Amino acid sequence: MANWYLQNGKASDVVVSSRVRLVRNLNGFKYINKCSKEEQKQILEKVKEIVPSLGYGLQVIKLDDIDDVTKLSLVEKHLLSPEFVMNNSIEKAFIINPEENICIMLNEDDHIKIQVFSSGEELENLTNLIIEIDEKLGEALNYAYSEKFGYLATSPINIGTGMKASVIVHLPALSVTGNLSKVLRIVNNFGMSVKGVYGEGTQNQGDLYQITNNQTLGITEKEIMANVRSITEKIIEQERAARKFLGKNQVELEDKVYRAYGLLTYASKLSSDETKKLLSDVKLGVDLGIIKEIDDGKMKKLELYTKAGNLQKYFGKTFDGYEREIKRAELVKQLVRE
């Protein structure tokens, strides 16, 4: 079976993926920014010892043992954070399973960051899974915990449950109809944060946005999940209504998505930013049943393998920037013709 990021899930016409993560620290150790190298190594060894007992096919990989292209490919899959792979002054490792729907970062900002992933909207199942993993870890490790505040963390915004639930949503129709800013303001008013997937702010970069809860203190894990899920359902409803509105002018909509399809599939070179926008329009066409030349499986491959790191992993070679643009266009043609 394909890994989660190559699958379609519930409401995946709007919700690209879901993630739930928990931050944990160990008693008896300073926070990472205060730890010595030796203490950082001790934390890694302490967690590494219990990994075989956890199950899920998990294995430990030291960050120093993988090359830069592999690191980039994992960041592009959202399994590792950019900050985690960039800071070389700290001893780091991650724990991952073959399906890559579980990835635990060790010695990022905190000692342990447990993450679980799924395609589509699967927040409830992910919450159940991460609680199960956390309980297994908690039985073997002595977590830093306060009766008053809950789980302790480097940053005050993670104290309490230490849980963040998030979804990545694709909102091209809201963008085209001019309703995106209004919807995102409403999300912010409900105590959620919104950011563009490809950088700060909410600028149009493939019409992809990440919605995440802000509150972790004074609220349970199940309540956090339910709140994010409720907001996500409203966003799905609004985006689908905007798509229905666009469909009233079928000629304009077909022209928009097929122009993107033509550029994407016949270009001799494609930049990363151009590809993001073209894929956004093509995905809209595929989801609405206008473009029939590409199915959901091909769409997922195009979205993943046109990214710089995974493009180079696909071909098994490293390329400079200009070569990547040529190879990206070549890859699109290959995948579309499969």
Taking only the tens place, the pLDDT of each residue in 184-232 is 888 888 889 988 887 544 444 689 999 999 999 999 999 999 999 999 9
Average pLDDT (140-153) is 94
pLDDT of residue 221: 94
- Tell me the average pLDDT of the chain: 94
Spatial separation of the C-alpha atoms in residues 54 and 134, rounded to whole Å: 10
pTM of the model: 0.94
Helix (H) / strand (E) containing 262: helix 250-266
Average pLDDT (265-274) is 96
8 A C-beta contact, residue 87 and residue 57: no
Residue 33: pLDDT band (50, 70, 90) is: confident
Q: Which pair of tokens denotes residue 270? A: 């494609």
**β-pair partners for 105:** 94, 113
Q: What DSSP assignment string belongs to 216-253?
A: -SSS-HHHHHHHHHHHHHHHHHHHHHHHHHHTTSHHHH
pLDDT over 70 percentage in the chain:
98
pLDDT of residue 32: 92
Instruction: Give the chain's domains with CATH numbers.
Output: 4-243 (3.30.590.10), 250-337 (no CATH)
Count CB neighbours of 230 within 10 A. Answer: 10
- Closest of 316, 308, 329, 321 to residue 77, by C-alpha: 308
pLDDT of residue 204: 46
Q: Are strands 93-96 and 102-106 parallel, antiparallel or unpaired?
A: antiparallel
pLDDT of residue 201: 44
Average pLDDT (120-143) is 96
pLDDT of residue 205: 67
DSSP 30: -
- Closest of 328, 262, 331, 249 to residue 291, by C-alpha: 262
Q: How many CA atoms lie within 13 A of 122 on its CB side?
A: 22
239-249 pLDDT, tens digit each:
999 999 999 99
Spatial separation of the C-alpha atoms in residues 79 and 56, rounded to whole Å: 16
The lowest-confidence range among 1-5, 35-39, 269-273 is 1-5
8 A C-beta contact, residue 41 and residue 91: yes
